[in-house]
Every structure is written in structure tokens, then in C-alpha cells.
Structure 1
Amino acid sequence: MALDAAVPETAWAERHFGGSGLGDERLRRRLVMMAGAMAARPSESLPKQFEQWTDLTGAYRLLNNPRVDPDAMQRTHRDLTLRSCAGRDVVLCVQDTTELDYSGRRGVKGLGRVGAGGRGILQHATLAVCPRDGLLGVLHCRWHCRAERIEGETKYGRLKRWRESLLWPESVAALPAAPEGTRFVTVTDRGGDAFATLEACIAAGHGFVIRAGRRRNVDDGEQDLWEAVRGQKVLGTRELEVVERSATFLNKGRKGRSATVEVRSGRLTLKPPRQRTSPMSPRTVTTVYVRELDPPEGEEPIEWLLLTSEAVKGMEDAERVIGWYRKRWVIEEWHRAQKEGCGVERAQFDDVLDLTRLASLTGVLAVRLLQVRDLARKEGEDAARADVLLHERMPRVWIEVVARLAKATDASSMTAQTFVRTIARRGGWLARKHDGPPGWKTIWKGWYDIAMLVEGVLLARSIGGSV
């Protein structure tokens, strides 16, 4: 599916939006046209993406149409993502919530609380991620606006009504069944650490890797979870590359570094919360506890406590669980691509449903940004497979234009990695040894440039040129 992202915008849009269940052929065609135009220039505003006035007003009408369900807009893409899961032993269902902040849009109706006194929409998504091949697509997404706090509400009263923490287990329950022979494994950060999430995974037949973020009693009810794992068996140590993180309202920033961590593992029985509304039974899980041994001065040590359904008999098994959890970072990149690459928070609409429809559309566009970026990073057999798919799916004229820019003598030998890296150089990637692989920003700046060159070549050929 990753190579599918590297085809021209019109074909890509038809494949990912063409079967949407909007119930109206005109709306379907309009959605496909919109997706293609936005994919060509994802970071631009709507007026720049749609140069014709009729196309721009058509886009506004679709986003403002009460008959257009945000879920239905993603339906074709989600079905395609599910089909991409087939033939894989394990697919990670990575969940996370992000805040779409529209605090500057004072007149928008229906927004809820976000951040430190801001206004916006919560977007809770589940992405399908293959441990080897990376991001496959969006499996599920929902949008929610926080209600105002209820003064004087008791704990029992809060438990009786719907709560934001239910986004996680309800999203597990909402996923389609995994294809035959494929096992879904839910992966969450600390936000998903709730007994109800464990229960939902077990009920759905999913595995799980959930980072613990709260204190709870284990086994006989006398010992704290965190105290228990610190006394478990040491399996070994390993080097862990820690990514840089910008400071946010909820988290301190940190610099990227290489950390030496100690890994412990064992089995523990978690006690359920005491709830009069829905009693739960204790659950026995495997724990993988990761802690940095000698953090730099002034930096908090890396400390992960992972609760998992997987059996861990030694360091190799623990490494696999840790690797699955680290794939969770893909959804953070997806949030960033949607916000920075597609500009979803810059939208100038005055209704929360209009903004939600745009978020639905840009969520799929953000998948494409990341998938094309990842083509430049594949190695070995994965790279060879990408090379074959490039020549099967990419129009010959695109390969010829990029080969000319890369000063390649034979377009038929163009590799997927060279193809993407050449495009990125047109977008400002310098390709120096210390630069690392290109990111989605430079790739998409270059992509639009190449698209204009291809359009020029096709125009010249249509009027009898020999380009």
C-alpha cells in the first residue's frame, strides 16, 4: 500500500475515496476531485488548492453539507487499509488522541475544551501499522468535543455518564475483524491505561501493549504495581535511541539521545477498579519494565512499564514487545503531518462539523505524506519490492522526468529510493551525509515541482513535441 501512495494524485484519490458511501454520485465525484487537488498541494490553503472558483465553491459546499458523514468520507480508505492487513501475521492497531486547536476561531459553534483554556476538537484515531512495513492506513477515527465541567459532580455520578477514557475501549470494539490469519495487537500510550481497555482487547481477541501510567494494586492487593516490577527478573540491557520531543502543555521537552536501559519482565495479576456500575475480574498480564541506567544530568530517565498479552520468556521476546511499543511514534508523526503538512488547524470554518469533515479528509492525506517519505528509507528485500512496484504503478512519464533530473542513463533501472530522494532534492533536501533521509516536508515541496514538470511534458507531447 505504501507504493500506492506514490502514484499521481488523481489515481490515488479515486482509489482511496472513490467508493465512499455518501449516497450520491455527485458528492462522490466531488470528494474524489477534492482529495486529488488537496493531495497535489497538501500544505496550501483551500483557495490555493482549487484555482477554479467553481471547484473552490464546490469544495466548500461539500464540507458544509449536512448529508456528508465524516466517517463515510474515510470508508473507502479504511476498507483498503483493512485489505492491506491481509497476509501479515501481526498488525499493530496504534491508538492515540490529539487536540485540534481552533482557539483563534471565536465564532465556531460547538467546540469543546482543549489545552490550557483553549477551544477545539479531540480526534481519536486507530492506525494500522505493520511491524516491518510501517504505516498501512487509518482503521478507525472519531471526533469528540469536551463538555464543560459539571460543578459538584460526584465520582459515582461521573462513572454513570460517558467519559473520555472510554474512547480507548470503544475504539477497540469498533474495529472490524482482522483478516483470516492476521492478529491485531492494540498499542497505546499512558492515555489508554484503563482496565476497560484490557477488557475490550480480550473481548475482541486482540493482543495488547499498553504503557502503564497509573498506580494500581496487584496480586494479593497489598503490593503496588510499580514496586512489584522493580523487583522482577533482569533480562538484560540494550541501547535505545530516544527521539527529540518538543515541550507541550502536558509534557516537558527533551533532546534526542542514545540511552542504555535495563529490561525486566514477569507476570502479575492486576486488580480491577472498584466500580458499582460494572464489576470486573482480575486479569493476569505480562509486564516489560524499561528504565534508563545513567541518564544525562538534568534529564528525566526513560522509564516505560508495558502491560502486554504477549509471552516473554527472554530478552528476544521483550525486545519484540518494546519494538512494537516504539512503533507507536508513527501516530505522533501522523498528527504532525495532518497539522503541519495539511494545515488542518488553519481552516477558516464557523461550524464544528465542517472542521470535522476536513479533519477526516486530511487524515487520509497525512497517511500519504508519511508513506511516500518511508519509500526513501526501505532497505534490502523491502527496497527491492518497492522498486518493482514503482515501475508497475507509476506512470512512465514520471519515472522518465525524475530519471532525467537524477542524470540517470536508463529510466528502467530507477529505484524507488532514488526516485523519492531525487524528488526531495527538488524540495530543498541537500543529501549531505549528516542530513539523514528526507522528511515529508521536502518530499512534498519537490513532488509539486515534479508534477508541474510532468504536466509540461504531457502538454508538449499533446501538441506534437518530442519531449
Structure 2
Amino acid sequence: MVLERMFARVSAGMRRLADTRAEKVAFTRLFRNRHVSKQEIIRTAAARTSEVAAGRHVLIIEDSSEINYEAKASRKRGLGRVGNGKDIGLFVHPALAVDAVDGSVLGLAGATIWRREAKKADDYQALPIEDKESYKWIGTAKAACQALTDTPQMTVVGDREADIYEVFARLPDERTHVLIRAVRDRALGTRGERLFSAIAKTPEAGRIAFELQARPGRPARTVELAVRFAAVNLRQPRLGADSRDPHELTLNAVEVREIDPPSAKDAVIWRLLTTHCVNTLASAIAVVEMYRSRWIVEQLFRTVKSQAIDLEESLIADGDALERLAAAALVVATRVMQLVHGRGSPGQAFQAARLFDPTEITVLEALIAKLEGKTQKQKNPHPMHTLAWAAWGIARLGGWNGYEKERPPGPITFTHGLRRFNAIVDGFVLATKE
């Protein structure tokens, strides 16, 4: 019931979720209950994801984010330190399952949630990976892949923080590939050669253009990039080298470098390392397109935080309870992402019942009929009762005008729409109650 209420109201605040004092007490006690584990919340979500991931090529997109509670420090207990080493909070590291072909969000496949309670050891770099916080990239991905039992092919996607030798050495298997953006100019098998210079001097294979997503301080823009690719042999780093890992790994490197960037500082240069076969321009572009899907997890974090669920505003005090709440918030934010990325043709492959109950679907039928205009362009273009059909209605309630040529609705629009929809459903239930 709590997860459904969190999704309907897109909130982690007990006061917003509860209709009565009794409900508020019950919801708070649930997250304080030591018999409720964050692992079980995540495993349950992953089991649901496994059902829809069967038979697909699935991207397992990982990333980390801090949940900062410093503004409420006087009312919190049992938390650790976050990125700046001073503020209190916790960390979340989800593994999001995304269809590699159509980009639909399948669900949460795994997550690691923790509090940083100790400083790095002086010999941190020499420690085995299992004793480092960075093991999250391996442990979370392995748990996610194990949960997706009937998925024939998975690609673990990570940003620069995941450029770890052990990730390349330990994650790939007969159904698992890796795709990581390189940050380290690694030594190659060839004496004296380095990764970045080796790929840079490879002949240009062709070009690619796409819309680069906006970020704070950087507006969206269309970029044209030169594409290069080559097979590379990475040497195992000497510091912290583990005898269980091979001394050398053969991977494929793909570099995309922006042509005529607005400035040298803003130039797009991605160096991607993957176990996928890359021997043509088309296969190199396919790798770039898979990496571009990583943007979805950034949307997920914004949804968890101030743009929607606002996890950092929770009044729950205890660290253990806040970890359980964070697990629930990741599940709920993933559902919002399923709406956001189910708004087009990919959403036609799923039923609205995936996210909405029968009463809500009845209300959607009536609302969509009312929201549709007289012209064909103003009508819901999707098959009735599909996820895309429902997403159209929720987006319209959130302020989107319904025209395909307009900017697609994002997490904020869907958050507004879901909250308005929840109020309408509550009114419908009250009006039809005997």
C-alpha cells in the first residue's frame, strides 16, 4: 500500500502520503521496522522487472548519488558523511533495467544503499576491490544480472567512475557485456603506448549527430562527432593488482569527438570501452547509442530528489529507516520513469495495468475522453489501455498540450499529472462509495 501511495502522490513525506493520523503512524512504523529490509524491497522490485525483461537485450545502467540531509541534521541520527566529508546523509546506487532496442524502462534490477561511516584507509588503493566502496559497481551489477534469470543478453553501462579494471575482468560472461566510459589513460600491452593517444590516432570511421541533453549551465544542442574505434589490450594496473584477474584484457574502444564545439572546455569527447564486438561504423554507433541511454539514470535521480519525490525532505529521523525509505523511493521513481519513457511507441507494448489498478483505468478512460480535442492531432494516438495511452493522459493532466511536435513531457510534467490524477481518483472513489 505504501509504494502505491508513494507513486500516486509522488512523495516520500509521511504527511503527504497519509490521509489520517493512524495511517501516518502506520507508514512511519513500517520504515522503522527492523524486520523490513531494504534488500527485500529491492529484490521484490527486481523480481517484477525480471518478468518483463525476459527474452530481451537489457541495459543495466548503474550510477551513484548522495541523499543529503544536512539541512535537517539536528533531527537525524545514525547517518554517515556524504561527498564533501562534512554533510550527513546516505548514498544510493541503483541498477536500472532498460530495453536496449526501444529504450523502454523495464524496472529496477538492483540497488546498493549505504552510509559512509569511516574515512578512506591510508592504503585504500592497495586494498582488494571487495574492501572498497567501488565494489558497488561489481556487486550491484552481479545481483541485477542474477535477478534477470530469463534475460539472454545484458550490457552493464557505467560512467567514468566505473572505469575500474576489475569491472572489465569480472563482470563479463556468456550473457553479460560491459560498456564503460573511460577516464583513465591506461597503459596498453604495447610498450609505452597509452589508451587515449592510441584511439586518437586511429583513422576516422565516420560521423554521427544527435541532440545533446541539457544540464545545469549547459543548454541542449545538436552535436556532430567524429567516430573512431579500435581493439585495445589493457594492462593490469600495478597498484592494487589482484592475482585472480588477468594481467591483460582485450576490449574494444570507441571514441566520439565533437566537430566545431562551442569551446574547448565544452567539447564532447567520449572514450568508451566495451566487450561488444566493434568492427564497423554501424557497430560503433550502436555502442554510442547504448551509452547515451545512461541519461535515464540521471533523470531517475532528479525524480528521487527535489524534482518529484523529494526524499531529502523526509522527516524520518533514523538512518536505518531512511535507507528503507530510499529503497522504496528508487522503486517509485523507476515507475515514474516507466511513464516518461512509455509515452511513445515503446509504451504500446505494455498494458496500463502495469502501473494502474482497475479503478484508476476507469477514471483514465473518462479523463482521456474529456482531454481529447476535436481534431485528430489533439486525440490520444495510442491503443486504448496501453501504457502509452495512459502516459498521454497523465502528461495532459500535468500541463502538456498533447501535440507531438512539442517538447516531450518529462519527469516534472508527469509528477504534476500523477498528483492531479490521484486527487481526481480520490474524488471518484468518494463519489461512488456506497
| TM-score, normalised by the number of residues in structure 2 | 0.87
1:322 — aligned with what? 288
Taking structure 1 as reference, are residues 419 and 398 closer, same or farther at Cα in structure 2, changes over 3 Å only? Answer: same
Q: Tell me the amino acid that sits aligned with residue 328 of structure 1.
A: R
| Aligned equivalent of 2:414 | 443
Alignment of 1:231-310 (within 5 A): 231-246=201-216, 253-275=217-239, 278-279=242-243, 280-281=245-246, 282-297=248-263, 299-310=265-276
- Deviation of the 1:383 alpha carbon: 5.7
Indicate if the aligned counterparts of 2:340 and 2:411 stay in contact, CA closer than 8 A: yes
Aligned to 2:92: 123
1:146 to 100, 113, 116: 116
User: 1:142 is aligned with what amino acid?
Assistant: T
**What amino acid is aligned across from residue 172 of structure 2 in structure 1?**
I
2:40 counterpart residue number: 72
In 2 relative to 1, CA 51–157 (structure 1 residues): closer, same or farther, beyond 3 Å?
Answer: same
The verdict on how the C-alpha distance between 1:362 and 1:299 changes in structure 2, with shifts beyond 3 A counting, is: same
Between stretches 289-298 and 326-335, larger displacement belongs to 289-298
- Match for residue 424 of structure 1? 395
1:106–1:413 Cα change, 3 Å: closer
Structure 2 residue 10 is the aligned partner of structure 1 residue 46: no
Aligned to 1:15: none
Q: Pairwise mapping of residues 19-30 of structure 1 onto structure 2 (< 5 A)?
A: none
% same residue:
27
- Aligned equivalent of 1:374: 341
**Structure 1 residue identity aligned to 2:416:** K
2:83 aligned with 1:83: no
The answer to whether the 8 A contact 1:405-1:422 is kept is yes
| Matched position secondary structure for 1:223 | coil
**CA gap 1:462/1:57 in 2 versus in 1, 3 angstroms:** closer
Structure 1 pair 149/319, CA: closer, same or farther in 2 (3 Å)? Answer: same
Q: 1:392 to 1:458 in 2, by over 3 A?
A: closer
Structure 2 equivalent of residue 37 of structure 1: 5
Would you say the 8 A contact 2:93–2:113 is kept in 1? yes
The one-letter amino acid paired with 2:141 is: V
Displacement after TM superposition at 1:418 (Å): 5.7
**CA distance in structure 2 between the partners assigned to 1:324 and 1:413 by the alignment:** 28
Aligned partner of 1:130: which letter? D
Q: How far apart are the structure 2 equivalents of 1:454 and 1:406?
A: 19
Q: Cα offset for 1:157?
A: 5.8
Counterpart for residue 56 of structure 1: 24
How far is 1:103 from its partner?
A: 1.4
Decide which of 223, 227, 230 is 2:197's aligned counterpart: 227
**Which of the residues 160, 175, 178 maps onto 1:208?**
178
Query: By how many angstroms is 1:430 displaced?
Result: 4.1
The answer on whether the counterparts of 2:59 and 2:154 sit within 8 Å (CA) in structure 1 is yes
Q: 1:202 to 1:75 in 2, by over 3 A?
A: closer
Distance 2:225 2:433 in 1: 61
Equivalence for 1:164:
133
Distance 2:259 2:279 in 1: 22
CA contact (8 A) 1:233 1:266 kept: no
Larger RCO (alpha carbons 8 Å, 6+ apart):
2
Structure 1 Cα separation of the partners of residues 118 and 3 of structure 2: 35
Change (3 A) 1:181 1:163: closer
Q: Structure 1 residue 182 and structure 2 residue 149: aligned?
A: no
Distance 2:139 2:33 in 1: 27
- Measured in 1, the distance between the counterparts of 2:309 and 2:350 equals 25
* Alignment partners' CA distance in 1, 2:315 and 2:433: 39
Distance in 2 between the 1:401 and 1:296 partners? Answer: 45
Deviates more, 1:436-445 or 1:156-165: 156-165
Secondary structure of the residue that 2:236 maps to in structure 1?
coil
What are the superposed Cα offsets for residues 341-387 of structure 1, whole Å, 9 maximum, x if unpaired?
A: 111111122221111011011111101111112232x13xx465458
Where do 5+ consecutive residues of structure 2 fail to align?
none
Q: Residue in 2 aligned with 1:3?
A: none
Cα separation, 2, equivalents of 1:219 and 1:73? 44
1:297-347 CA-partner distances (Å, limit 9, x unpaired): 364210010001111121110111001101111111111111131111111
Q: Return the offset for 1:235.
A: 1.1
Aligned equivalents of 1:147 and 1:122: distance in 2? 11
- Deviation at 1:119? 2.1
Q: Equivalences for 1:326-341 in 2 at 5 Å?
A: 326-340=292-306, 341=308
User: How much has 1:113 moved relative to structure 2?
Assistant: 2.6
Q: Deviations over 1:365-412 (max 9, x none)?
A: 101111112232x13xx4654589799976334312321232579999
Q: Is the 8 A contact 2:58 2:151 kept in 1?
A: no
- Kindly state the Cα deviation for residue 171 of structure 1 after the two structures are TM-superposed: 2.0
8 Å CA contact 2:60–2:154 kept in 1: the answer is: yes
Residue 36 and residue 293 in structure 1: after superposition, are their counterparts in 2 closer, same or farther (change >3 A)? same
Matching residue within 368, 371, 383 for 1:405: 371
Runs of at least 5 residues in structure 1 that lack an aligned partner in the other structure: 1-32, 247-252
CA contact 2:257–2:267 (8 Å) conserved in 1 = yes
Q: Secondary structure at the match of 1:285?
A: strand
Q: Distance in 2 between matches of 1:103 and 1:433?
A: 42
Sort the Cα spacing of 1:277 and 1:295 in 2 relative to 1 into closer, same or farther, 3 A.
closer
By how many angstroms is 1:158 displaced? Answer: 4.6
Cα distance change of structure 1 residues 260 and 157 upon mapping to structure 2, 3 Å threshold:
closer
Which has the higher mean CA deviation after the structures are superposed, 207-216 or 232-241? Answer: 232-241
Amino acid aligned to 1:453:
I
Structure 2 Cα separation of the partners of residues 357 and 150 of structure 1: 25
- TM-score normalised to structure 1 length: 0.82
Contact kept? 2:207, 2:227, Cα under 8 Å: yes
Matched to 2:21, the amino acid is: W
Task: Name the count of aligned residue pairs.
Answer: 420
CA contact (8 A) 2:128 2:240 kept: no
Output the amino acid matched with 2:413: T
CA contact (8 A) 1:221 1:271 kept: no
Summarize the Cα distance change of 1:433–1:143 in structure 2 as closer, same or farther, 3 Å threshold.
closer
Partner-residue secondary structure (3-state), 1:140: strand
